[in-house]
Amino acid sequence: MEFCNKCGSLKINGSCTNKKCDQHIKSMVELATAQQIEYIRELAEQLGEDISEVNFEAMSKSEAVDIIDEYLERLDDTEKKLTVQNDILDEEDELDTDDD
C-alpha cells in the first residue's frame, strides 16, 4: 500500500485517490458508472444495437460518454427522419384538398 505524502490518502498507481489533492492525476482512467451503463443499455435497445460483445466492466467514463453521445445522435436522426416523412404526408393531403 502506498500513501500520499501530501494528504495521507491512499495512492493507486502513483495517483492520490483524494480528488482535491494535487497528487491526484486527473487523467487516470475512471470506470463508467452503473448509471451510464444502464443508459447505454436503454439507448442500445431503442436503436436495436447489439451490445452483447461490449465489455462494460472495462469501459471508462469518457468512453461511456462517447457512446451515449453517438446513440443520442442516432436516435435524434431517426426522429428527424420520421418528422420529414410526416411533412411529406401532410403536403400530399393538402394537394388532395386543392384538387377538390
Q: Would you tell me which residues interact with Zn ion (CB under 5 A)? A: 4, 6-7, 9, 16, 18, 21, 23
- Compute the least distance from the CB of residue 1 to Zn ion, in Å: 14
**Based on the number of CB atoms within 10 Å of its own CB, is 67 exposed (0-12), middle (13-18) or buried (19 or more)?**
buried
- Compute the least distance from the CB of residue 27 to Zn ion, in Å: 16
- Compute the least distance from the CB of residue 30 to Zn ion, in Å: 17
Nearer to Zn ion, 2 or 38 (CB): 2
Nearer to Zn ion, 18 or 56 (CB): 18
Please give the grid coordinates belonging to residue 46: 431503442
Contact indicator for 72, 43 with CB cutoff of 8 Å? yes
Calpha distance 28→97 (Å, rounded): 64
